[in-house]
Each structure stands twice: as structure tokens, then as C-alpha cells.
Amino acid sequence: MQKTLREIARLIDGEIVGDDSVVITGVSGIKEADEGDITFVANPKYFHLVGVTRASAIIAARDLVATYKKPIVRTENPSLAFAKIVASFAPNETSPLKGIHPAAILGKNLSLGKDVAIGPYAVIEDCVCLGDNTVIYAGCFIGHHTRIGSDTLIYSNVSIRERISIGNRVIIHSGSVIGSDGFGFADVKGLHHKIPQIGTVEIGDDVEIGANVAIDRARFDKTVVGRGTKIDNLVQIAHNVIIGENSIIVAQAGVSGSTVLGKGVTLAGQAGLVGHISVGDGAVVAAQGGVTKSIPPNTTVSGYPARPHNIAKKVNACVQNLPKLYETVRALKKKIAELEAKLKKQG
Amino acid sequence: MQKTLREIARLIDGEIVGDDSVVITGVSGIKEADEGDITFVANPKYFHLVGVTRASAIIAARDLVATYKKPIVRTENPSLAFAKIVASFAPNETSPLKGIHPAAILGKNLSLGKDVAIGPYAVIEDCVCLGDNTVIYAGCFIGHHTRIGSDTLIYSNVSIRERISIGNRVIIHSGSVIGSDGFGFADVKGLHHKIPQIGTVEIGDDVEIGANVAIDRARFDKTVVGRGTKIDNLVQIAHNVIIGENSIIVAQAGVSGSTVLGKGVTLAGQAGLVGHISVGDGAVVAAQGGVTKSIPPNTTVSGYPARPHNIAKKVNACVQNLPKLYETVRALKKKIAELEAKLKKQG
Amino acid sequence: MQKTLREIARLIDGEIVGDDSVVITGVSGIKEADEGDITFVANPKYFHLVGVTRASAIIAARDLVATYKKPIVRTENPSLAFAKIVASFAPNETSPLKGIHPAAILGKNLSLGKDVAIGPYAVIEDCVCLGDNTVIYAGCFIGHHTRIGSDTLIYSNVSIRERISIGNRVIIHSGSVIGSDGFGFADVKGLHHKIPQIGTVEIGDDVEIGANVAIDRARFDKTVVGRGTKIDNLVQIAHNVIIGENSIIVAQAGVSGSTVLGKGVTLAGQAGLVGHISVGDGAVVAAQGGVTKSIPPNTTVSGYPARPHNIAKKVNACVQNLPKLYETVRALKKKIAELEAKLKKQG
């Protein structure tokens, strides 16, 4: 596939600085790019590569100072613009799933939208609704009375239990489990009696869920993932958790039962939250942060137990300096002993 | 569905304080409850909600001081009692799995108990035993010579390898893997040679295993999960680990090879244990705790490296106070310099 | 099965000290061994068990001081030698997968090597290549244009997306997902727009991948796992990560996007690495280490944020000692006040 830089600039509403007739044959990262590729720069960490990349053209923000001899396409949001270009270069998929495979097993009383596709060995139990254009890959299990919206894409070997609700334009990657029982037991003299988990899970529109994620159904009521929220691989969402809209939950993070996250929250990788707390809108938990109490809006916390990041950084600097502090204190002790001895002598 | 409070009290052997003819139409958490719901309170964190919940009745311990105008049902263990009520309100499942689906694949020399149910596209290899009433959902794989007890429930897309032993009344949630090879290699000049993992896994009666858990088979001998132990989602149990009875392993915790846990142990979320150590009966590892050596019985540890929790808390308070300590030391240094100067002057 | 010690010594090129006619009937760990078993000792932690094990013979390094009355087989690498013995005692598998099961679904334009085995309900999309003797278990999904080498073993319910490349003699355990979309979004006013992930994954020869692992495909280019690298269960490898040869990634570790690991790197359990950094050859990250910047070769780091392990240990000793330091400082403060008072009096 090839496109001129002019065609590409039109696609992303960008302004070309340089030769607009350059022919682009591929897309690549700024480090790996070769002649013929177009690349982009958004992360300041990579600005120094602008002068040395082998790419034939580069997408950049309007205010980037050019140290680059080859054409630049300036645009508002280089990441977003580049995403569009990447999509336009994406390989033609030769076997997209189409129609309902004869080896799919369909229950009774289904409601199937237009152009639904279901792969072989998928099992759809009774009374399931699937919206228009929704695609269910091979080996998925969809429990009875589950409702899935339109234009949703569910990759192979996903398990969705009964009575779950999933929105439109949702993507769920392979191996994920939605609606397994919450982890709830009543303790009687050291024995753990199961508390039935009769609630459900509600996944909003435009949510993406990574591979091998686990999202438990509520004890009663529902576990909620708000619209536009993106969840990475191997994340744990416990029962009765509520996640607000447009949040980001990075790989291997875990949220304990009944905790409520606001809108636009970020949990970085391997962050962990105890149950029954709340996290304000726009709050950020740094990687591996261990959160033991509620977080106000727009606050970044880190460490274990998690503290406001500025304080945690200051405290951590103090910690790293401790060997020196111990020396200082030893020296002071010595000096005081000397002063004491002198005073005694004088006295 | 509806029940009078009288019927509910009888179910849980509770004592009603207030109007026993109230009609209950649903169950709910104390925060989310609406009129017609019954709720419960066991966690002191929620006691203040007793006066404001919209629920029509509440289950509480015998000694809770009532600040509540509506009927209370007093009982020994409110959580357990509520679990029973929840079960009695659980929705009728319209498509419980029954019988052996024609699209299940059955090997040779199986021993199948009464009323075994096997879903479509499950694969049962040769010489497998399944006890009475055991249910295997769609897409599961059960390796040859594996023995599974009675009344056990295995959800969709679970993989159980060969020669595994699983008890009665066990529940395994979707996506879990039991009996994968332990992670064992012999290092020869930087190359990692696989050590065959020819042991097995033994899961006791009444164990529950969450979604997307991994429990490795032993190198030889067996990896053991003791009866009554409950394991949450995304947990890692390495080869040759022994877990005692009635333990609780919360989501994303991990136990390294050959470590031995006693009875009634609790590993909170994301806790990690090195290999070849022992954890005494009743010990608790706090969330994200990183355990590097053996833990005596009935001890709570936290932090990395994990220490007894009282000490860890004290040390952590000291750490948080460090910026102040640095100031104090700076001030002392200044004072000592002043004293020195004075003394010199005097001398 | 039984073998004489002489036969065993020949198998591993070992030198027997003691009676070479002893009959061995099984293999076991040094703690669990019973009469008739052979065991081994490599970890110094277990040297004290040499005198008390019930095993009938023991494999040990040439320089182990014998405190053992029963026969010892001395050899260069006891772990490796024992691995060979274990393999020779491994149970005969009664139902190894053979041939292509009629319930496997095969796409068009496949290239299948000699003696390929495919289990029931596996789904192989169009244009897939499988090398000689490769085995794909039940319920696996292999996306179109994926190429898998020879002698590779893929256990049940693994999902491999399209256009992935997997080498020879690779082992992938159940539930793992290879080639799911990387977690990449362009942020526009708080909404997260998906960046297409059109790259691929390349898994080298002799790699082993545990259960329920997630390895994402690259945005463009490829995510790489170098030959001979071994990955444990529940590990997260993000898009565009490059892992060098013969590295070891222990359970529940996670590597963020575009990070580059050298050869012979070890990430211990639950370690986490931020994106866009590099880790030098032979570097080690201790369990739960949280790595926030690049690591030079042959360096061991630990803690969060991760530091060279020697420094981290020293700092941690200081931290554990803090309650004492606070006391010392309080005592110094008191002494200084006393000195001041004295001086004033004298003055």
C-alpha cells in the first residue's frame, strides 16, 4: 500500500511543512522507522530522535520546533492523527468472521441483530440478545439472559455468565471472564460459608477490556464499568465495584469489593485498592500503589500505604538519604560527648 | 417473589423486633436498599447507615443498639443469615445445565456418577472419574486419569490437566488452569533446561477457585489446596505448594514453589510469598505484603520485606515523619555549633 | 518401574559413592522421599536434610561433603541430572494427542507439517502454518496467517491471534493469550480513542509460556520474546516489548510498553517495569520490585522505586532501625538542652 503525504495530511487535517509529494509506504515507531515510513512524535522523551529517525515524514504537534530536514505534518493531536493513519495502513484481514457458523450452539429465544457473526464452538445460552454487527469469536460462552449491544467485538475463549449487560462498541479480548461469582463468605468458627452472588455486571458503551481480565458479578445489585473506560490485561475487578466513565485501569491492577471510582480515574500497573473506599474524579494511583483509604478528586497517590505523590516523593528522598542521616546523628552524638567532657573539665 | 418478615425470620432462626407482617420483595446492600428490600449490617463501618437506609427491614447481630424505626431481625451471624435469605431470593435459573450434551467429547473408560452434566464442546479425556451431580460447563478440558468428586461445579473454559484430583462440592470459575507444569529449569551455562513436572495437584473438598487462577502441578509429589480453602481470581499457586484447610487467598496473590501454608491462613490481595518457606496456622499477610521468610502462627505481617504488622506500622509512622526528623537534626546541628562557639569563647 | 543405581548413574554420567546395586523405584523431593526413592540436593538450604532423608540414594554435586550413609551419585549439575532421571521415571501418558481430530475446524490454505496433532474443537483460521510434530490441544484458537514452528506444544484453550510468529520447541500452557491488542489510546479532551494495534508478536525457539499469560501485539512492528526465554504464569507483556534470549520472567511480573530487556535477565515474581526503559543483560529485578528507570547490565535491583539491591538493603536496614533513631535524637535533644542550661548557669 502507498499514499502521498498530501493524501495523509488530508486524512488527518494536517499542515505539511516540506515536500507534500513524498510517497509513504508504511507506518512505524520513530526508533524503528525506515525510509518510506511515516512516524510521529508526541512523547517529549522522543523529541531528540526527530533529527535522526530514518522515517520519510513525521507527524508532530503544531508547536514542535523542527530540527528535521524531511517533511513534517503538523496537527493538533499527533497520537490521534497517527492512529487514523495506522488504521488506513492496516492489513486487509483475509478471514474476518461473517455470519453464524454452523458449529456455534444457539439457545432458545435469542434476539439477534442484523449481521451478527458467531464463530465455531461458541455457545450462546437461552434468552440472549446480541445487537447489530456484534461479533462473537470461537469458543466464547455467553450465559442465559445476557444482553450485548451493537458493534461489540468479543474475541475467542471469553466467558460471560448469565444476566450480564454489555453495551455498544465494546471490545473484550481473549480469555476474559465477566460475571464470575464475587468472593464473599460468611465466617462461622473458621469455616467459610458461600454468600450467593446473585447480582450482575453492567459494562457501558465504548469500554475495552484486555486479555485474561476478571470482573466479578455483584452480591446483589451490580458491578459497573462506566462508558469509555479502558481496562488492560489481567486486571481484577471485584464484586460491587463501580468504575466511572473514561477511566484507565492498567495491567494487573486490582480493585477490591464495593470500592467506587469516579470519572477519568487512572490506576497504573499493579496498583491495588482495598474495598469500600472511594476514588475521586481524575485521581491517579501510581504503579504498584497500595491504596488503603479514599482519595480526593484530582489527586495523585503512590507507594504503600499510598500517600499524595508529592509527599511520597519527599518522604522517599528522605528514606534514600537515611544512611547519611545516621552518620550525621553519630557525629552529633560524638560532638555532644566532647562538649560534655569539656564542660565537666571547665566546671 | 415476596415473603413476610415472619417467614424470613423462621428461615434464619432470628428474633423480630417490630412488625413481623412486613412484606419483603427483595434483598440489597444497606446503601442501595429501597423500600420493600431487606438488608443487613455486620461491618461496623456501616452501622451509621442503620438510621438512614431505605430498606423495610434489617438483619443485625443480637447486640446492635437499635437506632432504627423499622423492624430488625436479630440473629447470631448476620452475614451468614443474610446469605441464606439471598439464596432464597435468587432468580430461578432458566437453563441450568442438565445431562450430557451431544457435542461433548467423551474419552474411553470414564466413570460417570449419577446426574452428571457436561456442556457442549467440553472435552473429557480417557479414564476420567466424575462423581454424582458434578457439572462441567462448555469448553472445559479435563485431562486423562483426572478424578473429580461429587456436587462439583466447573464453569466454562476451565482447563484441568491429566492425573489431577479434585474433591466434592468444589467450585472452579471460568478460565482457571489446574495442573499446568511447574516453573522449573536446570541452569547450564545460562541455558534453561526444563525439569519435567511429573507430579499432580490435589484440591480438597469444599474448595472454591476464582476466575483465571493458575495452579501448577508438582515437580513430583503434589501441589495441595486443603479442604474449605477459598481462592479468589487471578491467583498464582506454584508447584509443590501446600495450602492448609480453610485458608483465604485473595485476588492476585501469588505463592512461590514449595512454600507451605498452615490452616486458616489469609493472604490479602496482591500479597507475594517467596518459595521454600512456611506460614503458620492463622497467619495473615496484608495486601501487597512481600514475604521473604517464614511466618509464625497467628502473626499478621505487612510491607516489603514483610514484618510483623505492629512493627511495620510503627516503622511506617517513623518514615512518614522523616521530613520533620531531618529538620530536627538540622536544628540540633545548629545548636551544637552555637554551644561549641560559646564554649570556645569561654575557654 | 524400577532401575538400579548403576543404570541411573550411567544415564547422568555420575560417579557412585556406595552400593551401586541399590534398586530405585521412584523420584521425590528430599523432604518427602521414602525408601526406594532417589532424590537430589542442589539448594544449600536443604544440605542439612542429607543426613535425615529417607531416600535410598541421593544425587549431589562433586564437592558436597557426605554426611550420608546411603549411596550418593556425584555429578556436575545435580538439578539437570535429576531432571533426566525424573523424565526416565515419568508415567506413560495413555492418551497423547495424535492426528487431527474430526471436530477440529481447519481453515483454507493451511500448511501442515508431518505428524501434526490437533485436538477437538480447536479452530485454525486460514493460511496458518504448523511445523512437524506440533501439537495443538482442544479449544485453542489460531488466527489467520499465524506461523508456528516444529515440535511446539500448545495446551488447551490458548488463544493466538492473527499474523503471529511462534518458533520451534515452544511450549504454551493453557489459557494464555498471544497477540491481543496493545493498550494504546490517544487522549482527546478526556476521551480515549483507540490506536489500532497492527503489529505482531514473535516468539523465539525454545520459549516456554505459562498459564493465563497475556502477550500483546505491537502497535506496529512487533513484540518479541527471545529464544530460550521462560515465562511463568499470569505474566503481562505489553505491546512493543522486546525480551532478550534466555531470560526468566517469574509469575505475575509485568512489563509495560516498549521496554527492552537484554539477554539472561531475571524478573522475579510480581516485579513491575514502566514503559520505554531498558534493562541490561544479566540484570535481576527482585520480587515485587517496581522499576521506574533503566537498569545497567548485571545489576540487581529491588524495592519501589527499585534501587541497586545493596543500597536498598542498607537503606531498608536504616528504615527498620528508625524507632531507635528517633529515640537517639530525642536523647540528644535533651542532652543539648542540659548543656545549654549548664552553660547559661556558668555564663
Q: For residue A45, how far is the Cα from the chain centroid?
A: 21
Range with the largest mean pLDDT of A72-76, A82-86, B79-83, B154-158? B154-158
Q: For the structural domain made of A105-308, what CATH number should be given?
A: 2.160.10.10
Cell numbers at A294, concatenated:
479514599
**Can you say whether residue B240 is alpha, beta or left, with left for phi > 0 and alpha for psi between -120 and 50 degrees?**
left
Subunits with 3+ C-beta pairs closer than 8 A to C: A, B
Distance from CA of C194 to the nearest CA of A (A): 7
Cα–Cα separations (whole angstroms), residue B40 to B25, B27, B49, C146, C267: 15, 9, 10, 54, 45
Residue A54 to residue A249: CA distance in whole angstroms: 34
pLDDT attached to residue C92: 62
Residues whose CB falls within 8 Å of the CB of residue C7, separated by 6 or more in sequence, listed in order: none
pLDDT attached to residue B67: 64
pLDDT attached to residue B29: 84
Q: Model confidence over A116-143: pLDDT tens digits?
A: 999 999 999 999 999 999 999 999 999 9
Residue B284 pLDDT grade (very low, low, confident, very high; cuts 50, 70, 90): very high
pLDDT attached to residue A69: 78
Kindly report the average pLDDT of chain A as a whole number. Answer: 93
Residues whose CB falls within 8 Å of the CB of residue A258, separated by 6 or more in sequence, listed in order: A238, A239, A240, A241, A275, A276, B29
What is the 8-class DSSP label of residue C47?
G
Residue from the list B83, B121, B174 with its beta carbon closest to the beta carbon of A121: B121
Q: Model confidence over C248-273: pLDDT tens digits?
A: 999 999 999 999 999 999 999 999 99
B89/A198 CB distance under 8 A: yes
Residue from the list B126, B274, B339 with its beta carbon closest to the beta carbon of C287: B274
Residue by residue, DSSP assigns A135-177 as: EE-TT-EE-TT-EE-SS-EE-TT-EE-TT-EE-SS-EE-TT-E
Residue A145 pLDDT grade (very low, low, confident, very high; cuts 50, 70, 90): very high
pLDDT attached to residue C347: 63
Q: Which residues does chain A have within 8 Å of residue C101's beta carbon, measured at their own beta carbons?
A: none
pLDDT attached to residue C276: 95
Contact assessment for residue C238 and residue C221, using Cβ atoms and an 8 Å cutoff: no
- Residue B133 CB-density burial (10 A; 0-12 exposed, 13-18 middle, 19+ buried): middle
B251/A274 CB distance under 8 A: no
pLDDT greater than 60 at residue A94: no
Residue B347 pLDDT grade (very low, low, confident, very high; cuts 50, 70, 90): low
Cell numbers at A189, concatenated:
468458627
- At which residue does the C-alpha cell 514542535 appear? A64
Average pLDDT of the residues in A139-161: 97
pLDDT attached to residue A27: 87
Distance from CA of B341 to the nearest CA of C (A): 11
Residue of chain B nearest A183, judged by CA positions: B232
Distance from CA of A310 to the nearest CA of B (A): 12
pLDDT attached to residue C202: 98
Distance from CA of B68 to the nearest CA of A (A): 23
Q: Model confidence over B60-108: pLDDT tens digits?
A: 988 776 666 789 999 988 888 988 898 888 776 545 789 999 999 999 9
Contact assessment for residue C224 and residue C243, using Cβ atoms and an 8 Å cutoff: yes
Q: Model confidence over A213-227: pLDDT tens digits?
A: 999 999 989 999 999
Q: Are strands C260-261 and C242-243 parallel, antiparallel or unpaired?
A: parallel
pLDDT greater than 90 at residue A151: yes
Buried b (16+ CB within 10 A) or exposed e, B78-105: bbbbbbbbbeebeeeeeeebeebbebbb
Q: Which residues does chain C have within 8 Å of residue B269's beta carbon, measured at their own beta carbons?
A: none
Residues whose CB falls within 8 Å of the CB of residue A71, separated by 6 or more in sequence, listed in order: A5, A16, A17, A18, A19, A20, A22, A56, A57, A58
Q: Model confidence over B131-162: pLDDT tens digits?
A: 999 999 999 999 999 999 999 999 999 999 99
Distance from CA of A337 to the nearest CA of B (A): 11
Residue by residue, DSSP assigns B292-338 as: -S-B-TT-EEETTTTEEHHHHHHHHHHHHTHHHHHHHHHHHHHHHHH
Cell numbers at B229, concatenated:
480453602
pLDDT greater than 90 at residue A93: no
A173/C177 CB distance under 8 A: yes
- At which residue does the C-alpha cell 428461615 appear? B11
C276/A171 CB distance under 8 A: no
Architecture of the CATH domain C105-309? 3 Solenoid (2.160)
Cell numbers at C215, concatenated:
502477550
Cell numbers at A106, concatenated:
444457539
Residue of chain A nearest B246, judged by CA positions: A191
A121/C144 CB distance under 8 A: no
Rounded to the nearest 10 degrees, the angle between the axes of helix B322-346 and helix C322-346 is 30
Residue B239 to residue A239: CA distance in whole angstroms: 29
- The active-site residue, picked from B193, B239, B276, B309, is B239
Q: Which residues does chain C have within 8 Å of residue B163's beta carbon, measured at their own beta carbons?
A: 91
Q: Which residues does chain B have within 8 Å of residue C332's beta carbon, measured at their own beta carbons?
A: 332
Q: Is the C-alpha dihedral spanning C99, A122, B176, C213 positive or negative?
A: positive
Going by C-alpha positions, the residue among A314, A263, A253 that lies closest to residue A286 is A253
- The active-site residue, picked from C173, C239, C276, C309, is C239
Average pLDDT of the residues in A96-107: 94
Distance from CA of A177 to the nearest CA of B (A): 6
Residues across chain C: 347
Q: How many CB pairs under 8 A join A and B?
A: 209
Residue A203 to residue A245: CA distance in whole angstroms: 11
pLDDT greater than 70 at residue B254: yes
Q: Model confidence over B183-209: pLDDT tens digits?
A: 999 888 899 999 999 999 999 999 999
pLDDT greater than 80 at residue A66: no
pLDDT attached to residue C67: 64
Q: Which residues does chain A have within 8 Å of residue B322's beta carbon, measured at their own beta carbons?
A: 315, 318-319, 322
pLDDT attached to residue B225: 98
C212/B214 CB distance under 8 A: yes
Residue B292 pLDDT grade (very low, low, confident, very high; cuts 50, 70, 90): very high
Q: Which amino acid is at A259?
A: T
Q: How many CB pairs under 8 A join A and C?
A: 211
Say which CATH superfamily domain B3-89 falls into.
MurE/MurF, N-terminal domain (3.40.1390.10)
For C62-212, strand residue ranges (E) read 72-75, 105-106, 111-112, 117-118, 123-124, 129-130, 135-136, 141-142, 147-148, 153-154, 159-160, 165-166, 171-172, 177-180, 185-188, 191-194, 200-203, 208-209
A156/C105 CB distance under 8 A: no
pLDDT attached to residue B294: 98
Q: Which residues does chain B have within 8 Å of residue A240's beta carbon, measured at their own beta carbons?
A: 29
Buried b (16+ CB within 10 A) or exposed e, A139-170: bbbbbbbbbbbbbbbbbbbbbbbbbbbbbbbb
Residue A49 pLDDT grade (very low, low, confident, very high; cuts 50, 70, 90): confident
Q: For the structural domain made of B105-307, what CATH number should be given?
A: 2.160.10.10
Residues of chain C with pLDDT under 50: 94
Residue B341: strand, helix, or coil? helix
pLDDT attached to residue C344: 83
Residue B315 pLDDT grade (very low, low, confident, very high; cuts 50, 70, 90): very high
Q: Which residues does chain C have within 8 Å of residue B139's beta carbon, measured at their own beta carbons?
A: 121, 139, 157
A186/B80 CB distance under 8 A: yes
pLDDT attached to residue C302: 97
pLDDT attached to residue B220: 85
pLDDT attached to residue A132: 97
Residue B236 pLDDT grade (very low, low, confident, very high; cuts 50, 70, 90): very high
Q: Are strands B278-279 and B260-261 parallel, antiparallel or unpaired?
A: parallel
pLDDT attached to residue C173: 98
pLDDT attached to residue B49: 85
Residue A232 to residue C255: CA distance in whole angstroms: 12
By annotation, the residues of A acting in catalysis are 239
Average pLDDT of the residues in B18-38: 89
Kindly report the average pLDDT of chain B as a whole number. Answer: 93
